[in-house]
Structure 1
C-alpha cells in the first residue's frame, strides 16, 4: 500500500501518529533536560580537535562518463548518508546533501570535511530520491530544490513529502509512506520500514514528520538503508520479513552513550546487520560532518574491529569509490591518514 502525492497533516490513519506527533513504539534514550546545558557547553567549547580530520581526506572524484559506463548494481558513497545507486538502468540518491553545511544557514553549523564526490550539477537525471527523515544532515533544502526538475520521483516518510511540496517539488512526483508500506518505481520495490529516531527542523518542534529505514529491492538484489536510528527490536523483524540482504547500509557515526537510543553505537550497528541477515555491511553516516564528540575516524576504526571479531564482512570504500552491490569488497583503511 502506498500514499501517493501529499496528505494533509495530521495523519490520523498512521499508527505512528499519536497526540499530535509521530512517536516511537518505545521511547528511546535521549539526553534528559538536566543534561542539555552541559551537552551544549561541550559542543560549543569542549570538543576535541580530533573530531575533524587533521589533513584533507582522500576523495575519489566521480565523473558523468564513469557513471554512464558503470555496470548496473554499482553504488557510490557521495558523503555522509548520501549514496548514488545505479539500479535497473536508473540512478537513485539517498538523503542527498550537497551543501557545504548541514545547517539551516550556510554561514554557521557543521561544515563538510570534503566536497561531494560529484557535484550536484554533474549528476545524471535521477530516477528517484529516497529520504529517511527531515534532519539537516539528511534533508538539504538547496539540494532538493536543484534536484526537483531533474528527478522523476521523491519517496519519503509521512510528512516529509509535505515539506518538499512547500519547497516547490511538484506534488505528482512525491510519494510518502508509512512504515511497512511499499511502492514500485523505476523497476524497484521500495518499502518504508521502522526506525527509532525523531524529527524536526526548528526549535521546539516535536516529531512533526515520520522517520524511516528503507528496503530497496530489485529483481536481483536486496539492500537495506538504515537512515538514522538507535538499536531496536525492529531490525530482527525487518530481517525476518525481507532478509537476507546483499548489502546493509548502516548508520555508524555521530554516536554517544547519551543518545544511543536514536544513534547506534558501533557494536549495535554490527548487531543490527546480523539481525537483518546481511551478507555485506557498509558503515555510513560518518566521514563528512562533525556531529559528535568522538574522533572523526572512530566510527570506521571501531566498526571494522568489531566486525572482524564477529566474522562480519565490511565494505569500507573511500568516498567516491565504486562498489559492486553483488560483489562488494573490503577496500583499504583510507581513514588512517599519515601523521
Structure 2
C-alpha cells in the first residue's frame, strides 16, 4: 500500500511538472509572436542608453512614480477587475457613431475621434493619425473588446496619411494589425525613443521613422513642427517595462498649437508645457480608465482638472474613454464628470461623438452630451 501510494504521488508530481513545463513553453511561444514587438538593440539601444531619461536599465519618469498608489498588488487589482461587478462598466446597447468618410473631408482643418485615444486630423492639408487602435487593444481578442458600435472605424477607412504619431507602445495605443495595414501608406512616423524597434521589426521603412526623446523636436512634414514632451506613465507590451519611452507632444502648425497628451498621471510637466509654449489652442488630454490605485500613471478626475488649469487651453477635448473598459468605473463616468466641471468652471470642453467632425478653426461649434440617452 505504501509503495503504491508513493508511486501514485511520484506520478502525480511528474504530471504536474510536465504541465508546468508545457505552460511555461506555451507562454514563451506566445509572447515571442511578432505582435509583441522587439526591445531596442544595436545603434538604437546605444541612443536609448545615452538618454538623460534612461537610468538603471530603464526609462524613468521625472518624479518618482510607484506602480500603485496603495498597498495593493497587481494580483489583487486583477482579481477585482475580473470578478468585481461594476454598474454600467460597459454600455448595454450600441453607442451612437457617425461614420465620416475620412477620405473625403474637403480642405478644412478638422479632427475626427475614432474612439479611445485614436484620432484622425487634417491640418494645413496634411493628414495625421494619432495612436490608431482600430482592430484590437489586447494580444488576446477575447479581452478588451470594444463597446458595441465603437469599432465602426477599421484600418481600411483611413486614407494614406502624411504623419503617424505614436505616444507609447501599450496595446491600447499601438495596435499591431492596424500598423500592418498602414505599412506602406504612411509618409513619416514620429514616436518616442525606442518604439521604432517595434515598427522596424514589423517591416516599416526605418527611413520613415523619427524617434524623439523628451524635449526633442522635428519637422516631419513641411510646415508641421512636433515636439516630444514629458508624460508620467510607463511602457511595455510584455513582461518587461520601460525599455522604450512614452511621451506627449506639441503639434505646431502655421496657426495653431495642439497639445496631444497621451497617457499621463498628474505632475509638474503640464505647468511647464504651458510656460514653454504659451497659447494652447487645443489640448487633447486623457480622461478615463482611471483608478485611485494607479493615480500616478493616469489622470483621476480631480487631477484632470488640475492639468486643465495648468494648460489653460482655448479648447479642451478629452479622450481615453468610450471604447474599452480598462478600469473599474461606469463607462460614461469620465464624460459626466468633466462635463459637470466644464459647466461649473466654464471650461471650453468639446464633446463630439465618435466620428463627428470637429472643425479646428470654428470656436463656435457646439456639441451635445451624446452619452446621456445611453446611460
TM range (shorter): over 0.9
Using the size of structure 2 for normalisation, the TM-score is 0.84
Where structure 2 has 5 or more consecutive residues not aligned to the other structure, the ranges are 1-41
Match of 1:110 in 2: 144
For the pair 1:53 / 2:116, whether they are aligned, the reply is no
- Alignment map for 1:54-93 (pairs within 5 Å): 54-64=92-102, 66-67=104-105, 69=106, 71-93=107-129
Query: Kindly tell me: are residues 245 and 133 of structure 1, through their superposed partners in 2, closer, same or farther at Cα, counting changes over 3 Å?
Result: same
Match of 2:336 in 1: 301
Deviation at 1:330, TM superposition (A): 4.1
Paired residue secondary structure (1:154): strand
Deviations 1:21-79 (A, max 9, x none): 00012122432674322211111111324110011100000114542x2x432000011
Count of aligned residue pairs for this structure pair: 329
Return the structure number with greater strand share. 1
Deviations 1:261-314 (A, max 9, x none): 000012222221221221110010000001000000000000111122222110
Deviations 1:89-122 (A, max 9, x none): 11100001011x310132x210111344533213
Structure with max Cα Rg: 2
Q: Is the contact between residue 243 and residue 278 of structure 1 (CA under 8 Å) also seen in structure 2?
A: no
Q: Distance in 1 between matches of 2:124 and 2:206?
A: 24
Match of 1:152 in 2: 187
For the pair 1:202 / 2:238, whether they are aligned, the reply is yes
Q: Is the contact between residue 91 and residue 374 of structure 2 (CA under 8 Å) also seen in structure 1?
A: no
Ranges of 4+ aligned residues in structure 1 off by more than 6 Å: none
Using the size of structure 1 for normalisation, the TM-score is 0.93
Query: Kindly tell me: are residues 138 and 145 of structure 1, through their superposed partners in 2, closer, same or farther at Cα, counting changes over 3 Å?
Result: same
For the pair 1:216 / 2:251, whether they are aligned, the reply is yes
Q: What's the C-alpha RMSD, in Å, of the aligned pairs?
A: 1.6
Return the structure number with greater helix share. 2
Q: Is the contact between residue 62 and residue 117 of structure 1 (CA under 8 Å) also seen in structure 2?
A: no
